[in-house]
Amino acid sequence: MPPSTIGDLATEILELVRASKERYATLVYDNTLGDVFHITALKLPAIEDALQALLPDDPWTVDALRACKAKAEMSLRIFTAVADAPDSTKVARYRDAVTAASQGVRIEDLVARMMLDLMFFAQQLKRRDQSQRLADGVENLGRLGPSLPPEECVVYLPRVSSGDRHWAIP
């Protein structure tokens, strides 16, 4: 893949991460969201820094960046939903956004997965400081409790059936 595609993907992810940081800036002093939500948002600059240093010419890079971009889009949808909610409904809006925007994946898991995606690139570029910062961020997020209990992150998928059991897929 041409480096411009890699550069374009990295730029798009950077824009999403920066937009998430801007949306979070309106939530900095919100006490209802809990520490895990706030600590997770504070990890976004590590992702931003890693993306700014990224431009290896590797065929796997595009796929990894597309996966990272999908996570960044989900993160932005969550931060936007919570930031736009009235103060009294921010936690409920967060719960709804996790269920709808990210298929049940909490914000801390999305950010940790983005960090893991980018750790590989930092290691390939021999950027030990960035690689270590990302690894520390993932470890720190892993030590925190969940921002929402697992039972509040369940996504229920409707079961669709034609009614003809002979064509059912096992």
pLDDT value of position 164: 45
Structure tokens at 145: 């409790």
In whole angstroms, what is the distance from residue 133 CA to residue 141 CA? Answer: 12
pLDDT digits (tens, 9 = 90+) for 44-103: 998 888 887 765 555 667 777 888 899 999 999 999 999 999 988 999 999 998 888 778
Q: Which residue has the higher pLDDT, 57 or 5?
A: 5
Distances (CA, A) of 128 to 42, 72, 104, 107, 149: 20, 23, 33, 26, 34
The whole-number pLDDT of residue 60 equals 66
Which amino acid, one-letter code, is at 42? L
* pLDDT of res. 168: 40
d(C-alpha 54, C-alpha 36), whole Å: 28
Report the chain's mean pLDDT, rounded to a whole number.
81
Greater confidence (77 vs 120) lies with 77
Residue linked to tokens 């960046």: 65
The answer to whether residues 72 and 16 touch, using CB atoms and an 8 Å cutoff, is yes
The pLDDT, as a whole number, for residue 153 is 73
The structure's pTM equals: 0.75
Residue 116 pLDDT more than 60? Answer: yes
DSSP state of 57: -
pLDDT value at residue 9: 82
Q: What is the chain's Cα-based Rg?
A: 18
| pLDDT for 165 beyond 60 | no
- The pLDDT of 138-154, averaged and rounded, is 84
Mean pLDDT of 137-164: 72
Mean pLDDT of 2-22: 81
* Neighbour tally for 130: CB within 10 Å: 22
For the cut 70, the answer to whether the pLDDT of residue 111 exceeds it is yes
